[in-house]
Chain A
């Protein structure tokens, strides 16, 4: 059974701090992993997509890493800002279950000005 665990469930940090969000998943054979941002009551905004052959991806202040052998991904946010406050979702696509993503329950981030 595919499971995605995200730790911590909630995080509150002062503005300017660097932070790491963790995601673990149950399959070592995957197609890819995608990080999303979800604002309250809103849709899912794609942040980064990491393919199975990649170790990391970067976009601006965001860096996501992938370690398939240990079933882990991390999302690093540099110099956090109040506008980063949202829920961050990790989703992965196992290699043997077709074309669907499995989602974690997310990390709720609050950046305090």
Chain B
């Protein structure tokens, strides 16, 4: 079964550093997403991406965050200057088309900011 692949599985970074989380969505999917889950809390939407641009973003997705599809297979989330409160599990997901579809999630990247 096709999978969404995320790397790395765990990243530790110093506060103020930039991190890039990587995802390879399912190859024939057109919509890509990032969600996060702070320990013990709900999974929260960050951003959706379609046709090489952001289609929706939440209030969490402020200027320190950016997304990019640098080539035909990768989808990245960059956090420019990490804060302690950015520590969370970050999930990438993809769907074939838009609102009528469910998502396939990756296994997540656990980001720890120290």
- Tell me the A residues contacting B by CB distance below 8 Å: 4, 31-32, 34, 36, 41-46, 49, 51, 89, 91, 93, 98-105
A31-B100, A32-B102 as given contacts; A100 in contact with B48, CB under 8 Å: yes
Can you list 9 A-B pairs, Cβ within 8 angstroms, ordered by A?
A43-B105, A44-B93, A45-B105, A46-B104, A51-B100, A98-B48, A98-B55, A100-B48, A100-B58
Which of B48, B58, B99, B106 interacts with A43 by CB under 8 Å?
Answer: B106
The secondary structure that dominates the A interface is strand
Is B75 on the interface with A (CB-CB < 8 A)?
A: no
Chain B 47-68, CB within 8 Å of chain A: the 1/0 string?
0100000011010000000000
Residues of A within 8 A of B104 (CB): 46
B99 touches A49 (CB 8 A): no
Residue on B with the closest CB to A45? B105
B91 touches A93 (CB 8 A): no
Residues of A within 8 A of B89 (CB): 41
Q: A41 to B89, alpha carbons, bound, how many Å? A: 8
The secondary structure that dominates the B interface is strand
B102 CB to nearest chain A CB (Å)? 4
A46 touches B100 (CB 8 A): no
Q: A89 to B43, alpha carbons, bound, how many Å? A: 9
Residues of B within 8 A of A51 (CB): 100
Is B44 on the interface with A (CB-CB < 8 A)?
A: yes
A46 touches B103 (CB 8 A): yes
A43-B106, A43-B108 as given contacts; A101 in contact with B45, CB under 8 Å: yes
B73 CB to nearest chain A CB (Å)? 19
Residue on B with the closest CB to A103? B43
Given contacts A43-B107, A43-B108, A103-B43, could you give 13 more A-B pairs where the C-beta distance is less than 8 Å?
A4-B42, A31-B99, A36-B105, A42-B108, A43-B6, A43-B91, A44-B93, A45-B105, A51-B100, A93-B99, A98-B55, A102-B45, A105-B41
Which of A34, A98, A104 interacts with B103 by CB under 8 Å?
Answer: A34
A49 touches B102 (CB 8 A): yes
Q: A93 to B101, alpha carbons, bound, how many Å? A: 10
A71 CB to nearest chain B CB (Å)? 17
